[in-house]
Amino acid sequence: MNSHQKIKVIREWIYLGIAIVTSIFFILFNNSSFNNTLSKFGLDAFSILNYDYFSLREKASLEKEIILIKQKLVKLSQDKKLFEEAFKENIRLKNLLSIELPESLSYVYARVTGKPASSLQNTLLINAGTEKNIVDGEMVISEDGFIGVIKNAGKYLSKVTLISNPSNKIPVVTEHSKISGIMLSLNKKTAEILEITKSQSVEIGEKVFTSDFSKLYYPNLLIGEIISVSDSSATINKKVIIKYAADFLNVKDVFIIHKSKE
């Protein structure tokens, strides 16, 4: 068989293949009643052929959308945290600004900068000192109430002795019954009020303030709230326990109270 005959045979096979493919196409996609079943299979075959292409394209698009959504969620989560912190800070500053003092007194704002290593958590350091006319003995308050007294005022930093220091003996008075006593600290959260006799009536829930019995402390500054009252069989006095209003471990902002200059 020469080359011309070979080409003729190949061409005939090509024509035959085209005819077979065309026939199969018409059989599969013919809408006649005879070929309905075959048409269904043809459509299924066509969909299968195109499924991978479209599914891969849609999958890539979905992956991009998922990545964008995740990025937006992370940003929204960060914005939410910032908003919550700003909201809490706003409330805290409003509480600070709502503190009222007599006209004869003024205050200096300061922030807590830390706690001395040897303080046993009974002192704080604040970023105000003699350059702001701060002197030893001045009282320090937070948004929650009285927290301590200036001790060792430096030029830019001052040490505050907290009212939780066991060496403090602070004259106090109860809110409603107006019973006076001496406060002695028990720990970082509670203290005991001494010198309240069994005949005197005090109630759980009463607030406790500094009294005017001492020139060292300004009166009417909130110290805490009575949480326990019991009669001691050994003495004529009641055992009155209070909880401090301020959380000394988490104080951030304070005011130093001093007399206004004439």
Same domain for 188 and 236, yes or no, is yes
Amino acid identity of residue 166, one-letter, is P
pLDDT at position 34 over 60:
no
49-92 pLDDT, tens digit each: 555 555 666 777 788 888 888 888 877 777 777 667 666 665 56
Same domain for 174 and 149, yes or no, is no
Same domain for 240 and 176, yes or no, is yes
pLDDT of residue 118: 54
The full DSSP string for the chain is --HHHHHHHHHHHHHHHHHHHHHHHHHHH--SGGGHHHHHHHHHHHHHHHHHHHHHHHHHHHHHHHHHHHHHHHHHHHHHHHHHHHHHHHHHHHHHHT----TTEEEEEEEEEE--TTSTTSEEEES--GGGT--TT-EEEETTEEEEEEEEE-SS-EEEEETT-TT-EEEEEESSS--EEEEEE-SSSEEEEES-BTTS---TT-EEEE-SS-SSS-SS-EEEEEEEEEE-SSSSBEEEEEEESS-GGG--EEEEEEEPP-
pLDDT of residue 224: 95
Whole domain around residue 120: which residue ranges? 105-163+252-259
136-195 pLDDT, tens digit each: 999 999 888 899 999 999 999 999 999 999 989 999 999 988 999 999 999 989 999 998
pLDDT of residue 38: 47
Domain count, the chain: 2
Same domain for 135 and 173, yes or no, is no
Pick from 51, 127, 165, 143: which is nearest to 91 by CA?
Answer: 143
What is the residue-averaged pLDDT of the chain?
79
CATH of the domain at 151: 2.40.10.340
Same domain for 173 and 157, yes or no, is no
- The reply to whether 195 falls in a domain is yes
213-256 pLDDT, tens digit each: 887 888 888 999 999 999 866 788 899 999 999 998 888 888 89
Same domain for 182 and 158, yes or no, is no
Pick from 260, 246, 258: which is nearest to 137 by CA?
Answer: 258
CATH of the domain at 201: 2.40.10.350
- The reply to whether 153 falls in a domain is yes
pLDDT of residue 30: 55
